[in-house]
Amino acid sequence: MKKIINNPESVVSEMIAGLTAAHPDLLTQLPETTVIVRKDAPVPNKVGLVSGGGSGHEPAHAGYIGDGMLDAAVCGEMFTSPTPDQVFEAIKAVDSGAGVFLIIKNYSGDVMNFDMAAELAEAEGIQVEKVIVNDDVAVEDSSFTTGRRGIAGTIFVHKIAGAKAADGGSLKEVKSVAEKVVANVRSMGMALTPCHVPSAKKPSFSLEENEMEIGIGIHGEPGIEKKPIASADEIATELTEKILDDLSWNEGEEAAVLINGMGGTPEMELYILNKKVNQLLTERGLHIHRTFVGNYMTSLEMSGCSITILKLDEELKALLEAEAESLAFNI
What is the Cα–Cα distance from 49 to 91, expressed in whole angstroms?
8
Tens digit of each residue's pLDDT, the chain (331 residues): 799 999 999 999 999 999 999 999 999 999 999 999 999 999 999 999 999 999 999 999 999 999 999 999 999 999 999 999 999 999 999 999 999 999 999 999 999 999 999 999 999 999 999 999 999 999 887 666 678 999 999 999 999 999 999 999 999 999 999 999 999 999 999 999 999 999 998 899 999 999 999 999 999 888 899 999 999 999 999 999 999 999 999 999 999 999 999 999 999 999 999 999 999 999 999 999 999 999 999 999 999 999 999 999 999 999 999 999 999 999 9
pLDDT of 201: 83
Please give the Cα distance from 114 to 329 (Å, whole number).
24
The 10s digit of each residue's pLDDT in 14-43 is 999 999 999 999 999 999 999 999 999 999
pLDDT of amino acid 129: 98
The number of residues in the chain equals 331
Catalytic residue numbers, as ranges: 57, 219
User: Is the peptide bond between 24 and the residue preceding it cis, with omega within 30 degrees of 0?
Assistant: no
The pLDDT score that the predictor gives to residue 221 is 86
259 φ, ψ to 5°? -100, 105
Which pLDDT score, from 0 to 100, does residue 142 have? 63
How far is 256 from 225, CA to CA, in rounded Å?
A: 27
d(CA 171, CA 26): 24
Closest CA to 324 of 182, 202, 197, 158: 158
Long-range contacts at 23-28 (CB < 8 A, ≥ 24 apart): 23/327, 26/65, 26/66, 26/327, 27/62, 27/65
User: Which pTM value belongs to this model?
Assistant: 0.97
* Alpha helices in the chain, H assignment, sequence order: 11-22, 84-94, 108-123, 154-166, 171-184, 232-244, 267-283, 314-321
From the CB of residue 88, how many other CB atoms can be counted at a distance below 10 Å? Answer: 25
Summarised one tens digit per residue, pLDDT across range 85-133 is 999 999 999 999 999 999 999 999 999 999 999 999 999 999 999 999 9
Q: What is the pLDDT of residue 144?
A: 60
Dihedral of the alpha carbons of 264, 269, 270, 276, in degrees to the nearest 10: -150
